[in-house]
């Protein structure tokens, strides 16, 4: 659906919403694709199941810069 604004410009409101939703989905997929291998390697490297938690916390603190 196209409409004309007061300044005479054509605006495609549905296209803008679709583009915004698409951009959000792409960012979420990129984050998931990046995070999964990091967590999988941390879990695979752990000698015991109890070691996974501290490894993930340590990785999270390194990524976010937290202390």
Summarised one tens digit per residue, pLDDT across range 4-49 is 666 767 666 677 788 889 999 999 999 999 988 888 877 777 666 6
* pLDDT digit string, tens, across residues 40-63: 877 777 666 677 778 888 888 888
* Contact criterion met (CB below 8 Å) for 13 and 3: yes
Strands 2-4 and 10-12, sheet pairing: antiparallel
pLDDT at position 41, please?
Answer: 79
Kind plus residue range of the DSSP H or E element containing 30: helix 13-45
Q: What angle do CA 24, 41, 47 make, to 5 degrees?
A: 145
Both tokens of 17, joined, read: 């919403």
């Amino acid at each position: 659906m196209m409409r004309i604004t007061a300044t005479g410009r054509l605006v495609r409101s549905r296209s803008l919403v679709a583009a915004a939703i698409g951009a959000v989905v792409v960012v979420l997929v990129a984050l998931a694709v990046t995070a999964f291998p990091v967590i999988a390697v941390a879990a695979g490297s752990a000698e015991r199941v109890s070691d996974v938690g501290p490894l993930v916390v340590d990785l999270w603190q390194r990524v976010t810069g937290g202390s």
